[in-house]
Structure 1
Amino acid sequence: MDATTVILLVYCASLFILSLLFSRLPVLTAVTAARSSPLDALRGILATAVICHHFVVTYFWKTTGSWIPPESAVLNNLGAVPVSLFFMITGFLFFGKIYQRHPDFLDIFKSRVLRIMPLYVFVLIFVVLLSLFETGFAFITLKELGKEVFKWLVFSGGSFNGFIHSNIMTAGVHWTLRYEWLFYLTLPIIAALVNKVWYGQYSLASLLVCVVIAVGMMFGVVKPALLLLFVAGFIPVLIKRHFPQGIAYLAHPLVSVAALLLLAYAMTLEAYSVLQIATLAVPFLILALGNDVFGLLASRGLKSLGEVSYSLYLTHGAVLYIAFSTLHLFSFENTQLTDFVVCLPAILLAVALLSYVTFNGVEKPFIKVRKPSIRQTAKFGQLQPSPEY
């Protein structure tokens, strides 16, 4: 078997074991456990797939000296496809909060700060401390340090204290939070357009953000294709609101098969290409509207992994760095990728257990102080509450 097949088999077996383990851990609340959204379990699969992707990238970094994506389209898409679907999930959830409703934008922004920033700050502290350790606590100039801190605060961080590998301590995933925040900040202007209502200072500020995005596109800082992923998440909301009678047909077993085939096909396409986005939009629509793929996405274990998916996503770089750059748990000399794959189950387990701790110790306290989104009042009727993350 080739390396790609071996990695996929080991990953699937490891995911199955993790699912069994997490099905026994007290992660889900009664409300979350009773919720039937397949997106809850999907997030668990997506986050662990990203870990697998960066596990492979770590091997190439250690053997070539460059943090580069794998040549295999499938292994590269173990990272790109989950990110694409995560963006679609964000688009689906938050477009659902504003479409034909009276959005409380202040509440939305507060909830995003409380949901995203505590764990990010926690991870950033780790990056700072380990970078200082790696540089022997010999500080660079205050001006350069200030620039680095600013970049990390806007989710564009690279080095810290001049240490060029600081971004690898997060596996570089923090760049996606920049796009998430750009999307959140455009919600008032999106709501103004679709609801035909001007939201005063929120719409004006959001319009200015759109101008910044347009300038970013001109200079190649913002990639338009990535913004399309959020828009793709709008489609299930529109169908749910205007064509609810068609949703029942999406539960058919043949539709489940079609979703799996399209996901498999997307794994072979160029990452973040328009064709891949269009291909992924179809199975995402199917899953977002309730198809659980023969019960797979109703698994309690996968839902539990989905509950800690943000921790899985944001902390796995730290585990990979400590394991293979600080503790040197594997010798990369004269090895093949298939030799390295024996470490994958242990890495997935370590990240999962760490995520269980950070979810309960860092994320959950701030989740508890957030306002429930159900306080928002629908203007034209109530949609079913969407899963929050």
Structure 2
Amino acid sequence: MINPFYNLIWVILIIISSGFLFSSKHFAFLDKKINYNRESNIDGIRFLLASFVAMHHFIFSYNYFSGKGWSISKHNIFNDYLGVFSVCVFFLISGYLFVSCCNNNNIKWKSFYIKRFTRIFPMITFQSLVCIAILLILTKQSINQIIDTDNIYSIFDWLNGGISSLRPDLFGIHQSWVTMGGVIWTLQWEWMLYFSLPFICVLMGKTNKYNILLASLFLFFYVFQNYSYSSKSFISLFISIFTISFLLPFLMSLFNIKKYNTVTLTLIILLILSSYFSHYIYKDSVICASFIVGALCNQYKSFFRHLISKTPSFLLNILLIISFLISFAIFHKKSYLSFSFVFSCSVFFVILLSGANLFNFLNLKGVIRLGNASFSLYLLHSIGWFIINKTLLHFNILHISYVFYFCSTLMWFFICYLSLLTFNKIEIPWIGYGQTLGKSL
């Protein structure tokens, strides 16, 4: 059994040591391909968030191979919190970064979606292919069974780029998704955010034919398919959306609301709606609220920064840690993602945006490098835990603590190194290709 206290100490030590280790000049080749004009503390926090998710799944994976199923022990509540906290802040960051698209009157949706496709699909496809290869090695099926029609169709589900979180069993192996730790469910929500942006533009009164067409497709795939025509939640949601899309421009002109406030007004209305519909679809509403609050943080980032601009750096970092602990206290009481938890995480995020950097840790070269490679780290860590735990179980040494932690430490550093390689060899080339193709349209 994993001791929660010693495990927490190990988690802190390997995360900090990773930041310093990968600051080495041996990884300087990555710096030429990193845009340092971006907000470095956000890049740095991405590494911490991806690491927290990895350590969250570290417990799940250990329990799975210990015969307890894909679960987390109750006495490891802090590890459980790290995963939920990270997902919530990741959603806040996504809302923060992508709401700017709604401010752009001349956004080229073809270019936008091509860039998103080339940013996400190649790395997820690589992850899926690695998982499929592992499952092929472990399967006991014959060649004829492997090339069965069911397996072929299931493989296509594994190669959907995260648009759907469906990962069916392959080659007769129960719970095949354990190889990748189930991390794809958050990417399904990311895609929903990207596809919802034209819909938000329509709510803001930007009703050109492309926005209306894409907004209609968004409603069809992500609303109509999830709610019955006869259900109260569907009827209420449809009427609310229909009414707002027509009344918002009128209300803005009636109350003389300036144009630059349209995004804020739309987001506030959507936040109110998400709160209302939490009575019917709680988890969905809370996740939507995460994106919306992140977007609102983007609209008021200058205000927040000005508000605490004279706050000493030392005190700002203390406030960041305190906000983290407060959000943990809220989570500890509820033990799930909630509206109160989202808003407490948003306080953490606002302090981060205002310049907090965890006493300059987030500005370390290694942390920024790994932060840029956080997408790879997020996708690959569960494969690493699966391989090491499967191997230790095979040799019957999984429960020898010093062997387990020594091997897990080596695997963690390998996961970080592999993430940097895939970022350099897969992510960066495809990002460049997407940007080139997007400019040509």
1:74 aligned residue (71, 78, 100)? 78
Aligned to 2:347: 282
| Distance change (3 Å), C-alpha of 1:97 and 1:29 | farther
Aligned to 1:145: 151
- 1:357 is the counterpart of 2:360: no
Give the number of aligned pairs.
372
| Distance change (3 Å), C-alpha of 1:35 and 1:94 | closer
Residues 73, 267 of structure 1: 8 Å contact kept: no
| Distance change (3 Å), C-alpha of 1:200 and 1:236 | same
Residues 132, 161 of structure 1: 8 Å contact kept: yes
- Which structure has more RCO (C-alpha within 8 Å, separation ≥ 6)? 1
| Distance change (3 Å), C-alpha of 1:373 and 1:9 | farther
Instruction: Give CA deviations for 1:96-150 in whole Å, capped at 9, x if unaligned.
Output: 2332553222222111111111011111111222222322353368553355235
Residues 47, 309 of structure 1: 8 Å contact kept: yes
Q: Which region of structure 1 is more displaced relative to structure 2, 284-293 or 74-83?
A: 284-293
Task: For 1:253 and 1:372, locate their aligned partners in 2 and report how far apart those are by CA, in whole Å.
Answer: 42
Aligned to 1:18: 18
Q: Which region of structure 1 is more displaced relative to structure 2, 317-326 or 307-316?
A: 317-326
Q: Which region of structure 1 is more displaced relative to structure 2, 61-70 or 299-308?
A: 61-70
Task: For 1:45 and 1:354, locate their aligned partners in 2 and report how far apart those are by CA, in whole Å.
Answer: 17
Q: How does 1:102-181 map to 2 (within 5 A)?
A: 102-138=106-142, 139=145, 142-152=148-158, 153=160, 154-181=164-191
Aligned to 1:296: 361
1:214 aligned residue (184, 207, 223)? 223
TM-score by length of 1: 0.85
Q: Which region of structure 1 is more displaced relative to structure 2, 176-185 or 214-223?
A: 214-223
Residues 157, 167 of structure 1: 8 Å contact kept: yes
Give the AA of the match of 2:210. Answer: Q
Query: Any idea what SS the aligned residue of 1:248 has?
Result: coil
Unaligned 5+ segments in structure 2 are: 229-280
Residues 88, 290 of structure 2: 8 Å contact kept: yes
Aligned to 1:53: 56
- 1:64 is the counterpart of 2:129: no
Give the AA of the match of 1:356. Answer: L
Residues 141, 172 of structure 2: 8 Å contact kept: no
Aligned to 1:259: 320
Q: Compute the displacement of 1:322 (Å).
A: 1.6
- 1:42 is the counterpart of 2:103: no
Residues 33, 300 of structure 1: 8 Å contact kept: no
Aligned to 2:379: 314
Task: For 1:70 and 1:190, locate their aligned partners in 2 and report how far apart those are by CA, in whole Å.
Answer: 40
Q: Which region of structure 1 is more displaced relative to structure 2, 103-112 or 178-187?
A: 103-112
Give the AA of the match of 1:119. Answer: M
Q: Compute the displacement of 1:328 (Å).
A: 4.2
Give the AA of the match of 2:285. Answer: P
Q: Compute the displacement of 1:187 (Å).
A: 0.9
Aligned to 2:296: 235
- 1:204 is the counterpart of 2:265: no
Q: Which has the larger radius of gyration?
A: 2
RMSD, matched Cα: 3.0
Task: For 2:294 and 2:310, locate their aligned partners in 1 and report how far apart those are by CA, in whole Å.
Answer: 19
Q: Percent of aligned pairs with the same residue?
A: 24
Give the AA of the match of 1:105. Answer: W
Task: For 2:305 and 2:49, locate their aligned partners in 1 and report how far apart those are by CA, in whole Å.
Answer: 27
Query: Any idea what SS the aligned residue of 1:197 has?
Result: coil
Query: Any idea what SS the aligned residue of 2:174 has?
Result: coil
Aligned to 2:31: 28
- 1:224 is the counterpart of 2:285: yes
Residues 43, 309 of structure 1: 8 Å contact kept: yes
Q: Compute the displacement of 1:183 (Å).
A: 0.8
